[in-house]
Amino acid sequence: MSVAEAIVVQGLTKVYKGRLGDGVAAVNDLNFQVNQGEIFGFIGPNGAGKTTTIKMLLGLLFPTAGTALVMGKPAGDIDAKHKTSYLPESPYFYEHMNAGEVLDFYCQLFRMGPGARKEKIGELLDRVGLAKDGQRALRQYSKGMLQRVGIAQALINDPDLLIFDEPTSGLDPIAHKDIQDLILSLRDQGKTVFLSSHQLSDVERVCDRVAIINRGELVKIGSMEELLHAGRTIITISKPQTGLVDQLTPVVEHVAAEGDRVRLYVESEETVHNVLDMIRDKASLISVVPQRQTLEDLFVEIVREVRK
């Protein structure tokens, strides 16, 4: 394993045995690596094996086959745990406590002295935007505020690797944006973030690379530039000559008329050139706008294809 790799997964497999001796592979022969200092998206439909994989990376589950190295050590190794933190989808804290007390409790688990704890708590509350609410009981917190407490708790040991499971689920737009910005700031500090989420727009916005799994198997992996290609193009024209729209209709994907303007939805780059040739001198060209494929488009396309 090179220094530049935070996680290396090779042949990772987890089979759960049934009552009749048969087995169900929750994770099947996974192979991927996560580079240090990147935000790595790990996505898939419900039941795809994401949580099982995370538990194996954390050493909470043992694989049936294969290996996982975390920060250069076997998953579950105490040295790897010292450099790793985890934020589950729904972190639970005692609601009678306030944020400062929660963080103080976890700081004590890391054997920090009173002075160091006080300094660290103030720093973390300020960092996650809870400096003014640190003394309020958690029962008065919104879900977004509780999520901030969870992130603060995950930062206590100044980890090199953070594993986040649905960190923005159910948040209001402001909290949503704040958590996104916080994740980006962690990368800017050289941290590695392993992000599992169904919020695909978040993954697309913050992740450097993404792995898509389905039914326990890796389906696709790559950078956003590698995974997302240009989609269709929208060509808008006005005042088309009589009969032009009828000529274009079989060539393009879809035609939408609005007053004297017509929008032409075109799938391929080659068709775009053909359409532009067809409308030359027969209509006024208003705009040609390429539409970029989204991660959600790709995700749905891949999962539906696999399920056929």
Residue 257 maps to which CATH number? 3.30.70.1150
Q: What is the pLDDT of residue 97?
A: 95
Answer with the one of 226, 250, 271 that is the final residue of a domain. 226
The answer on pLDDT for 3 being more than 60 is no
Domain that holds residue 141: 5-226
What percentage of the chain carries pLDDT values higher than 70?
96
C-alpha to C-alpha distance for 90 and 86, rounded to whole angstroms? 11
Check residue 220 and give its pLDDT: 93
Which residue, 170, 167, 169, is CA-closest to 181?
Answer: 167
Q: Which residue is associated with the tokens 């688990």? A: 109
Pairing label, strands 192-196, 39-43: parallel
Say what the pLDDT of residue 298 is. Answer: 86
Are residues 205 and 232 in contact, defined by beta-carbon separation less than 8 angstroms? no
Q: Are residues 116 and 195 in the same domain?
A: yes
In a domain, 163, yes or no: yes
Domain tally, the chain:
2
pLDDT tens string 61-91 = 999 999 999 999 999 999 999 999 999 988 8
pLDDT at 68: 97
Q: Kindly state whether residue 115 falls inside one of the protein's structural domains.
A: yes
Gap between the terminal Cα atoms of the chain: 37
Do 131 and 242 belong together in one domain? no
Q: Is the model more confident about 260 or about 208?
A: 208
Are 173 and 142 a contacting pair, CB within 8 Å?
no
Task: Render pLDDT for 208-226 as a digit per residue (tens, 0 to 9).
Answer: 999 999 999 999 999 988 8
Q: Which structure tokens are listed for 38?
A: 């990147």
Q: Which residue has the tokens 């530049």?
A: 4
Residues 88 and 172 in one domain: yes
The whole-number pLDDT of residue 1 equals 46
Per-residue DSSP letters for the chain? --TTEEEEEEEEEEEEE-TTS-EEEEEEEEEEEEETT-EEEEE--TTSSHHHHHHHHTTSS--SEEEEEETTEETT-HHHHHTEEEE-SS----TTSBHHHHHHHHHHHTT--HHHHHHHHHHHHHHTT-TTTTTSBGGG--HHHHHHHHHHHHTTT--SEEEEESTTTT--HHHHHHHHHHHHHHHHTT-EEEEE-S-HHHHHHH-SEEEEEETTEEEEEEEHHHH--EEEEEEEEESPPTTHHHHHTTTSSEEEEETTEEEEEE-SHHHHHHHHHHHTTTSEEEEEEEEEPPHHHHHHHHHHHHH-
Angle between helical axes of 143-154 and 114-127 (0-180°, round to 10) = 130
Residues 163 and 217 in one domain: yes
Identify whether residues 108 and 239 lie together within a single domain: no
Q: What is the pLDDT of residue 143?
A: 85
> Is residue 278 domain-shared with residue 196, that is, in the same domain?
no
Residue 107 lies in a domain: yes
Residue 2 has pLDDT above 60, yes or no: no
